[in-house]
Structure 1
Amino acid sequence: MTSVKEQEATRRLMVFLQEWDSAHKVARSHILDNFIKSNDSKTEPELELEFSQGASLFLARLAAWLRMTYTYSTCLRKLLRSIGIFLSAASGHRYLIEFLEIGDVLILLEILGLNYHKEEDKRESVKLLQLIADAGRKYKELICESYGVQSLAKFLATSNSAEAQEDTQILLDSLGHSNPKYQNQVYKGLIAVLPCASPRAQQLALQTLRVMQDVVGEAPTAVVEPVLGVLRSTHLQVQHEAIQLLKVLMAHQVRPALLEGLVAFLTPSCRKELTFCSETAADTATLGLKEPKLVYTQQAAAAKIVGVLAKESAEVAEELIQMKVVHGLMVAVGNLDHVASQRYASISLEYFVHMFPFLEECVKNALGDTLFQHFMDSPETWYTKMDPLQAEELASIVIDIP
């Protein structure tokens, strides 16, 4: 027989559940407020004690209400946070199983794509998905099998909340590790984020791609165009992450294609078709810029990056020379319309001449005695002494490199 104390606890539980079942939306919202305030960070034994060994009955009601109201609920965030208390409870793995058996993973993913929900609501959904992924490989696979990668990548690209984007990036990174069946899918999903309009999303996607590269192995050719495309971004953080990823990709078979693209960017008027990025896909900060301005941003980035990559590897530097990078750098130096292109191209050109002495005579013959002397005396500022005629000559100059 049950004790009087146990009977009283059971009675309180039944009263609470009846109160929930009969409550309208406003009353349920208050119940959720009290539940969150009283039970946040509780363990499974503590929750069971609170609910007289019937906590699963309340979790089932929360999950059922989520299925019924997720498309319009005005207190969705409170509902998701309440479910999160169960899923995050220490020693509460059975709560996770019970929630998943109901099939609410699909609902959590669908919430991310609903335009009329607040970013905070969607962030709570991402947090629940993270709790599920943290439970192990088979749970990561469950999320991926539910088209989770596509939903998360799209949300990362379109979200207006930096916090939500960071949570989504952490989740995608989690799905990309210890999940061999779907790691390539996650990698491709991150590549798909790169042409988006959000600089923050581009930055986070580039970071995650770099971290995942060792896990994925050989880089696919599909990475070339999107990575080169982000060089049009005017955001320094995006440019920095692109450089870090390019360094990693130099050890893969896509290296020649990447280097050829970078060299092509140095002479945009000659190879404009290789800009890889339409103006409609540029980030929102550059949408108002004219096409030449975007191309010059790309040119400056390429001028900077070829120097960085050359310093990292003499082998890469030699490949760039074979691809006529010196000619491209001179064209960029002669771009009087874009000081950044001139500056970065001058710095990189000086490195190539210093690193490969045989280039000195070639560059001297191309520049002429006066300009070459300015270049040798002050490689970082010599372009400021260039007149328009000399700049125009650089664009058509032919450099004979043995």
Structure 2
Amino acid sequence: MASIREQEAISRLMEFFKDWDNGNKVTRSRILKNFITSNQGKTAPELEQEFSQGGSLFMARLTTWLRLSYMFGTCLKEILQSISIFLSAASSSRYKVEFVEVGGILTLLEILGLNQLKEEDKMEALRNLQILARAGRKYKELICESYGVRAIAECLAKSKMDNVQEEAQALLEALAHGNPKYQTQVYKGLIALLPCTAPKAQHLTLQTLRIVQDIVQKPHPAIVEPLLGTLQTVHMEVQGEALQLIRELMPSEIRSTLLQGLVMLLRPSWKSGAKAKPQILEDPAAPQMSEPLPVFIQQAACAKAIGMLARESSELCDQLIRLRVVHHLLYVMGNIDHTESQRQASLAMEYFVSTSPVVEEQVRTAIGEKLFQMLMENADMLYMKLDPIQVDILVSNHVNVPGVKEVTE
């Protein structure tokens, strides 16, 4: 027979549930806020004690209301924060199992894709998913099996709030660790994110890709095109992460494809980075339009990457020379439409000339002694000193280092 104290506790619990079950939105909101304030950081046994061994009964009410109301956003932030108290409590495996069994993971993932919900609500959903992901491989697999990678990746790409993007990035990274069955799925999901237009999302994606690449080891060939595409960004933090990832991929089997892609992009075409031209621009009598700025930015970044890679490894330097990089760099040095492209190409060319006697001889012959000396004296400022004749010499050069091949699409 229960003691008087136990009977009083049960009576209070029944009264609490009665208030919840009969309460309207305002009443339930007040109950949730009080619960969040009073129970942060409690262990599962402490929560059970708080609810007279009826903690699961209250959590069941929370998950039921969540499933019924999440599409409307009713008290959604408070519901999710309350659920997180149960899920994150020490020794809370029972609560996690109960949450998953009622479809909690699917509900959290659906929240991420609803445009009408607040960003703060999505952030709380991501935090709950992180709690589950940290609980072990079984929960990571359940999230991935529920098409979680796609939902989280889309949330990262579309969110306008930095905190939400960072939570999504942290969750994707967590799903890649200790999850061999689905780590490749996470990796491919990150590759698919690279073309997104949000600079913060691109930056976080590249950061995570560098981590996940170490986990999966073998790079997928599909990474090359979108990775090089990120070099079109005007955001230097994104470009820096992309260059670092390119550097880290050099020891892999896609090295040749990456190097060839970098060299090809020194001579970009309209199709490589621009939208189709309006019909009026196809008229031969119409003024000729220069290539779009993103293509020039990519061109400058590729020249910068080529110089960086050549300086880091004599083997890479030789391979770039064999890809006829010298011919293409000279062309870029005469590209008066974008001075940063000229500058980066000149700096890279200076290194190739200074380290390869064969390249030095060919370049000196192709551009003439005066222009060659200008390059070697101050490559960084060469673009400011070129006259029209020298520009034409650079653009129309026919340097052909013995033993190299032309890079073609």
Q: TM-score, normalised by structure 1?
A: 0.94
Amino acid at match of 1:273: K
Partner Cα separation in structure 2 for residue 33 and residue 278 of structure 1: 55
Aligned to 1:228: 228
Amino acid at match of 1:182: Y
Q: Is the 8 A contact 1:213 1:219 kept in 2?
A: yes
Amino acid at match of 1:324: R
The Cα of 1:277 is off from its aligned counterpart by: 8.8
The Cα of 1:292 is off from its aligned counterpart by: 2.2
SS at match of 2:72: coil
Aligned to 1:156: 156
Partner Cα separation in structure 1 for residue 382 and residue 111 of structure 2: 57
How big is each residue's C-alpha offset from its partner over 1:353-387, in whole Å with a ceiling of 9 and x where there is no partner? 12223211111111111111111111211221101
Partner Cα separation in structure 2 for residue 128 and residue 60 of structure 1: 16
Relative to 1, partners in 2 of residues 1:196 and 1:277: Cα closer, same or farther, differing over 3 Å? farther
How big is each residue's C-alpha offset from its partner over 1:287-333, in whole Å with a ceiling of 9 and x where there is no partner? xx985211111110001000111122211111111111111111111
Aligned to 2:345: 345
Partner Cα separation in structure 1 for residue 335 and residue 379 of structure 2: 16
The Cα of 1:211 is off from its aligned counterpart by: 1.0
Q: Is the 8 A contact 2:324 2:400 kept in 1?
A: no
SS at match of 1:380: helix
Partner Cα separation in structure 2 for residue 204 and residue 174 of structure 1: 14
The Cα of 1:276 is off from its aligned counterpart by: 8.8
The Cα of 1:272 is off from its aligned counterpart by: 4.0
The Cα of 1:49 is off from its aligned counterpart by: 1.6
Aligned to 2:173: 173
Amino acid at match of 2:195: P
Q: Is the 8 A contact 2:367 2:393 kept in 1?
A: no
Aligned to 2:207: 207
Unpaired segments ≥5 residues, structure 1 = 280-288
Relative to 1, partners in 2 of residues 1:336 and 1:29: Cα closer, same or farther, differing over 3 Å? same
Partner Cα separation in structure 2 for residue 245 and residue 277 of structure 1: 27
Partner Cα separation in structure 1 for residue 125 and residue 185 of structure 2: 21
Q: How does 1:294-309 map to 2 (within 5 A)?
A: 294-309=294-309
Aligned to 2:271: 273
Q: Is the 8 A contact 1:327 1:397 kept in 2?
A: yes
Amino acid at match of 1:198: A
The Cα of 1:278 is off from its aligned counterpart by: 8.7
The Cα of 1:132 is off from its aligned counterpart by: 0.6
SS at match of 2:251: coil
Q: Is the 8 A contact 2:133 2:140 kept in 1?
A: yes
Q: Is the 8 A contact 2:80 2:128 kept in 1?
A: yes
Partner Cα separation in structure 1 for residue 383 and residue 338 of structure 2: 11
The Cα of 1:352 is off from its aligned counterpart by: 1.2
How big is each residue's C-alpha offset from its partner over 1:24-76, in whole Å with a ceiling of 9 and x where there is no partner? 11111111111111111111122112111111110000000000001003311
Q: How does 1:275-290 map to 2 (within 5 A)?
A: 275=273
Amino acid at match of 2:99: F
Q: TM-score, normalised by structure 2?
A: 0.93
Aligned to 1:191: 191
Relative to 1, partners in 2 of residues 1:297 and 1:278: Cα closer, same or farther, differing over 3 Å? farther
Partner Cα separation in structure 2 for residue 356 and residue 168 of structure 1: 47
Relative to 1, partners in 2 of residues 1:209 and 1:223: Cα closer, same or farther, differing over 3 Å? same
Moved more, 118-127 or 304-313: 304-313
Aligned to 1:131: 131
SS at match of 1:311: helix
Moved more, 354-363 or 34-43: 354-363
How big is each residue's C-alpha offset from its partner over 1:97-147, in whole Å with a ceiling of 9 and x where there is no partner? 111111111010000000000111001000000001001001100000000
Instruction: Note if 1:47 corresponds to 2:61.
Output: no
Amino acid at match of 1:165: Q
Identity across matched positions, percent: 54
Aligned to 2:117: 117
Amino acid at match of 1:218: K
Partner Cα separation in structure 2 for residue 72 and residue 388 of structure 1: 65
Amino acid at match of 1:370: K
Q: Is the 8 A contact 1:149 1:189 kept in 2?
A: yes
Partner Cα separation in structure 1 for residue 275 and residue 86 of structure 2: 45
Aligned to 2:363: 363
Aligned to 2:10: 10
Q: Number of matched residues? A: 391
Aligned to 1:286: none
Moved more, 248-257 or 225-234: 248-257
Partner Cα separation in structure 2 for residue 396 and residue 291 of structure 1: 18
Q: Is the 8 A contact 1:195 1:277 kept in 2?
A: no
Instruction: Note if 1:320 corresponds to 2:320.
Output: yes
Amino acid at match of 2:97: I
SS at match of 1:381: helix
Aligned to 1:64: 64
Amino acid at match of 2:232: R
The Cα of 1:17 is off from its aligned counterpart by: 0.6
Q: Is the 8 A contact 2:169 2:205 kept in 1?
A: yes
Q: Is the 8 A contact 1:195 1:229 kept in 2?
A: yes
The Cα of 1:226 is off from its aligned counterpart by: 0.6
Aligned to 2:34: 34
Q: Is the 8 A contact 1:334 1:395 kept in 2?
A: yes
Aligned to 1:283: none
Q: Is the 8 A contact 1:44 1:90 kept in 2?
A: yes
Partner Cα separation in structure 1 for residue 293 and residue 217 of structure 2: 36
SS at match of 1:71: helix
Q: Is the 8 A contact 2:270 2:291 kept in 1?
A: no
